[in-house]
């Protein structure tokens, strides 16, 4: 795996504050945390929101007897980007080793990052202080314009437009380039140029999309965040291959994020709304997307009929009746005789027992194709991510 691919995993995708609500369970409610693994296995963590706790627990399960090392890049010091650190279990074992990177705050001066992390665990905010963290750790200052290299990965930092300062990062690996630029408000000419230079030609551009364009023009102007429309403009202008909408507003339901993604895809084909458990792999000039089982997306074995319709690779409409065997809250793995286009939309009519919630005995869903691979019998395994409930009288796009 590590010989050819760069892996990007999403553990927290929500902005401002974590949420635990049924209405946004599909995309997830943890605050920002993204994992990047370079082709040689070097681990990077981008921000330390509440998603960091889940990442740490997964690491310990998967690497029970192995010493872990990671390079942790913190974009800025607002709560939603650091509040997962006290709950990151690997920090409490001396066999692991961590390197932290961020900028010196004008309010704190040198060793800002160390001071910020110590302060959030000080009395009366936390029951224990950082002295209980036995993992070796060091702290490095990074400013906008700095360049560094870590085990063959070239990293560029640029300033973003956010209250009290924020950094965006570009990671250039042998398998592709990933840009992480959350918490940025458009409108400052110098910083608008900066983010475009950072994102130029990126294979994956993870960008702040917390607000709608209307919100940014009115009630949320000056709050330090962006929109899907600004992300699309940047992607189009500088040749980004895949745009990821990130830092979803805590008040945005799954249906709201679905709508933002749909609006963005009308202007730029390769757009993904980040969700917890989403994994992007870069390699050999391709970017693949799949869903890792998470707290909100455990797969379950099922067995029921469904009718799937959409458009094949050559643009022809198809409809196929299948059995569904593998489903989660976020999506399903289907086995089809047809080959739908990647990122095309499928209509999925699932046949269910008749009850008060399903009086016609079916559930009508829509899903975007995020993965395809050959099945042993010459059919195709097709991974789909569910969006909103479908109108059964409308064809898939």
* Whole-number Å distance between alpha carbons of 174 and 311: 34
Q: Which of 14-23, 43-52, 136-145, 188-197 has the lowest mean pLDDT?
A: 14-23
Give residue limits of the domains in the chain: 6-291, 300-389
Could you count the other beta carbons within 10 Å of the beta carbon of residue 53? 21
- 6-291 and 300-389, same CATH topology: no
The answer to whether residue 13 scores a pLDDT higher than 70 is: yes
Identity of the highest mean pLDDT range in 19-33, 207-221, 321-335: 207-221
CATH number assigned to the domain with residue range 300-389, chosen from the 4 options 2.40.10.220, 3.40.50.620, 3.40.50.150, 3.40.50.880? 2.40.10.220
* Whole-number Å distance between alpha carbons of 165 and 152: 28
Query: What are 232-279's pLDDT values in tens digits?
Result: 999 999 999 999 999 999 999 988 998 999 899 999 989 999 999 999
* Whole-number Å distance between alpha carbons of 255 and 148: 40
Q: Which CATH class is domain 6-291?
A: alpha beta
Average pLDDT, stretch 200-210?
98
**What's the burial of 288, exposed, middle or buried (CB within 10 Å: 0-12/13-18/19+)?**
middle
Q: Which of 66-75, 131-140, 289-298, 311-320 has the lowest mean pLDDT?
A: 289-298
Quick one: which H or E segment has residue 229? helix 228-238
Query: What are 344-396's pLDDT values in tens digits?
Result: 889 998 886 655 555 666 788 888 887 787 888 888 888 888 876 544 444 44
């Amino acid at each position: 795996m590590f010989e050819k691919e760069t892996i990007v995993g999403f553990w927290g995708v929500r902005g401002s504050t974590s949420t635990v609500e049924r209405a946004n369970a599909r995309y997830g409610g943890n605050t920002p945390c993204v994992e990047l693994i370079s082709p040689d296995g070097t681990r990077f963590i981008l921000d330390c929101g509440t998603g960091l706790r889940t990442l740490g627990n997964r690491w310990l399960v998967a690497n029970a007897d192995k010493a872990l090392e990671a390079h942790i890049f913190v974009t800025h010091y607002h709560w939603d980007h650091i509040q997962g650190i006290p709950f990151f279990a690997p920090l409490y074992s001396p066999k692991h080793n961590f390197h932290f990177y961020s900028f010196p705050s004008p309010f704190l001066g040198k060793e800002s990052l160390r001071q910020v992390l110590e302060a959030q665990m000080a009395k009366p905010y936390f029951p224990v202080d950082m002295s209980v963290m036995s993992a070796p750790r060091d702290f490095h200052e990074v400013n906008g314009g700095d360049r560094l290299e870590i085990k063959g990965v070239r990293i560029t930092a640029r300033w973003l437009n956010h209250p009290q300062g924020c950094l965006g990062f570009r990671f250039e690996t042998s398998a592709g380039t990933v840009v992480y630029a959350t918490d940025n408000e458009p409108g400052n000419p110098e910083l608008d140029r900066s983010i475009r230079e950072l994102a130029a030609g990126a294979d994956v551009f993870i960008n702040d999309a917390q607000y709608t364009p209307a919100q940014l023009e009115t009630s949320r102007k000056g709050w330090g965040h962006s929109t899907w429309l600004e992300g699309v403009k940047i992607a189009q202008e500088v040749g980004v291959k895949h745009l990821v909408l990130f830092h979803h507003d805590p008040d945005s339901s799954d249906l709201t994020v679905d709508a933002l993604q749909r609006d963005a895809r009308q202007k730029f084909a390769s757009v993904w709304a980040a969700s917890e458990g989403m994994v992007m792999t870069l390699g050999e000039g391709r970017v693949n997307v799949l869903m890792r089982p998470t707290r909100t997306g455990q797969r379950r074995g099922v067995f029921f009929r469904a009718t799937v319709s959409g458009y094949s690779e050559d643009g022809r409409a198809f409809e196929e009746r299948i059995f569904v065997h593998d489903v989660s809250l976020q999506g399903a793995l289907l086995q089809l005789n047809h080959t739908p286009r990647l990122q095309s939309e499928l209509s999925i009519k699932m046949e269910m027992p008749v009850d008060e919630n399903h009086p016609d005995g079916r559930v009508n869903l829509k899903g975007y194709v995020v993965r395809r691979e050959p099945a042993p019998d010459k059919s195709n395994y097709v991974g789909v991510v569910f969006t909103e409930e479908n109108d059964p009288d409308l064809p898939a796009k």
